[in-house]
Amino acid sequence: MRYNEYMKVNLRCETLKQQVDEEISLLSKLVEEPDYESNYAAHMETGVVYDKRILGDKIARLNHEIEELEDKIENDKQ
């Protein structure tokens, strides 16, 4: 892998990691109804309601792409 391509892949990987951190931070600020089991929760500051399944799926997709990019970098080093 050329240096230019390596930098693009590495930058994409770092950007994805930042997105994962932001999504996890968002999840930590969600408030659920204690007596009602649901996939939905409201943001404690804005009141916006989120579907936790969608957020979880997004985090899983981002982590999968990060793993693929890290594997690509690692395989190209060898």
β-bridge pairing 49-51 and 30-31: unpaired
Confidence of residue 8 (pLDDT cuts 50, 70, 90): very high
Compute φ and ψ for 40, nearest 5 degrees: -110, 145
pLDDT digits (tens, 9 = 90+) for 18-76: 999 999 999 999 998 777 778 999 999 999 999 999 999 999 999 999 999 999 998 88
**Backbone φ, ψ for residue 69 (5° rounding):** -65, -40
Look at residue 33 in the predicted model and tell me its pLDDT: 79
- Which residues in 1-78 belong to E strands, given as ranges? 30-31, 40-43, 49-51
Q: What is the token pair recorded at 45?
A: 């500051």
Binned at pLDDT 50, 70 and 90, residue 77 comes out as: confident
In this prediction the pTM is 0.85
Distance of CA 41 to the CA centre of its chain: 18
Q: Domain ranges in the chain?
A: 3-77
